């Protein structure tokens, strides 16, 4: 199985500044996946090419062989945020194994990539009965994603509005590489806060010298201090 990065234990994978690096098939599990590659279909992807869009059904699962893919969530006003980054040996669409519901986010190719696609019927009728180790591998990855999302949700719920706004600005600035162009109303919608609460939080961050607001958007003046502010205890 071709890979664009060396094998590594999951605990050693670095966190990305704007998203989580998805759990992936481990070196110990790879031989089981190599056995089922002939049952899948190789697909090649170009930059920004969607794997599936919100409202679409994935129809099956992809095993990433090379390249980089990202899962992107959108607010109703069109703001977006990257949730997961998938690289070699990550899985895309594994939830389709359990449900045929439509996707709630965009999955797109971020860098030229290659995947092996396994239709849902093939997974359920051929692969899982004959290759239980693959099923355990999928379950482990799903469990890790669920745990990460639960931990993030718990930490997020205990964050003050100021910290939540600061966290969003850090992540969004890391994605855009410049000012964050977003209105207080849009930011409130994205974070699930009242607009007045967001305005107060932005004002406090600005008065603390952590950000500045101008015509180009919100600019982080001191990323290290803002990071410390966001990660500090309540």
Confidence of residue 52 (pLDDT cuts 50, 70, 90): very high
Q: For the residues 44-54, what does the mean pLDDT come to?
A: 96
54-79, pLDDT tens digit by residue?
Answer: 999 999 999 999 999 999 988 776 77
Tokens of 177: 């590489």
Q: For the residues 124-139, what does the mean pLDDT come to?
A: 96
In a domain, 28, yes or no: yes
Domain stops at, among 135, 156, 177: 156
Helix (H), strand (E), coil (C) string for 136-203: HHHHHHHHHHHHHHHHHHHHHHCCCHHHHHHHHHHHHHHHHCCCECCCHHHHHHHHCCCHHHHHHHHH
- Identify the pLDDT of residue 197: 93
Global confidence as pTM: 0.69
82-116, pLDDT tens digit by residue?
Answer: 888 899 999 999 988 888 888 989 999 998 999 99
* Closest alpha carbon to 73 in 59, 61, 83: 83
Domain count across the chain: 2
Do 103 and 33 fall into the same domain? Answer: yes
In a domain, 1, yes or no: no
Domain stops at, among 156, 179, 211: 156
* Residue 139 or 186, more confident: 139
Confidence of residue 234 (pLDDT cuts 50, 70, 90): low
Give me the sign of the Cα torsion angle 149, 151, 156, 157.
Answer: positive
Supply the range of the domain harboring residue 164. Answer: 160-231
* Residue 46 or 78, more confident: 46
* Residue 221: CB atoms within 10 Å: 14
136-152, pLDDT tens digit by residue?
Answer: 999 999 999 988 888 77
Question: How many percent of the chain have pLDDT more than 90?
Answer: 50
Contacts of range 207-215, beta carbons closer than 8 Å, 24 or more positions apart: 210/166, 211/169, 214/179
CA atoms within 13 A on the CB side of 30: 16
CA distances from 139 to 70, 179, 205, 207 (A): 21, 40, 42, 47
145 within 8 A of 23, measured Cβ to Cβ? yes
In a domain, 73, yes or no: yes
In a domain, 5, yes or no: no
- Identify the pLDDT of residue 13: 30
* Residue 25 or 148, more confident: 25
The most confident of the ranges 31-35, 145-149, 222-226 is 31-35
* Residue 4 or 190, more confident: 190
Mean of all residue pLDDT scores within the chain:
85
Confidence of residue 188 (pLDDT cuts 50, 70, 90): confident
Domain stops at, among 126, 156, 186: 156
CA distances from 55 to 47, 79, 86, 101 (A): 21, 17, 20, 9
Do 83 and 26 fall into the same domain? Answer: yes
* Residue 127: CB atoms within 10 Å: 22
In a domain, 213, yes or no: yes
Q: Which residues pair with 42 in a beta bridge?
A: 116
* Beta strands at 20-21 and 80-86: parallel, antiparallel or unpaired: parallel
In a domain, 97, yes or no: yes
pLDDT tops 50 at residue 16: no
- Identify the pLDDT of residue 229: 85
- Identify the pLDDT of residue 207: 93
| CATH label of the domain that carries residue 223 | 1.10.10.10
Do 145 and 187 fall into the same domain? Answer: no
């Amino acid at each position: 199985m071709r890979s664009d990065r060396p094998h590594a234990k999951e605990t050693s994978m670095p966190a990305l500044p704007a998203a989580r690096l998805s759990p992936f098939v481990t070196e110990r599990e790879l031989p089981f996946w190599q056995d089922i590659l002939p049952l899948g279909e190789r697909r090649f992807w170009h930059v920004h090419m969607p794997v599936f869009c919100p409202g679409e059904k994935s129809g099956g699962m992809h095993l990433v062989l090379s390249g980089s893919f990202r899962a992107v969530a959108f607010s109703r006003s069109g703001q977006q945020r990257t949730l997961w980054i998938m690289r070699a040996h990550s899985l895309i669409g594994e939830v389709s194994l359990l449900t045929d519901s439509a996707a709630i986010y965009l999955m797109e190719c971020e860098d030229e990539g290659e995947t092996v696609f396994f239709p849902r019927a093939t997974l359920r009728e051929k692969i899982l009965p004959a290759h239980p180790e693959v099923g355990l591998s999928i379950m482990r990855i799903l469990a890790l994603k669920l745990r990460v999302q639960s931990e993030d949700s718990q930490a997020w719920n205990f964050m003050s509005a100021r910290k939540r706004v600061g966290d969003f600005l850090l992540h969004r600035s890391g994605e855009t590489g410049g000012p964050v162009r977003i209105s207080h109303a849009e930011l409130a919608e994205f974070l699930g806060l009242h607009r007045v609460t967001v305005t107060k939080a932005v004002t406090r961050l600005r008065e603390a010298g952590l950000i500045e607001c101008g015509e180009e958007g919100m600019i982080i003046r001191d990323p290290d201090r803002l990071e410390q502010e966001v990660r500090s205890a309540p």
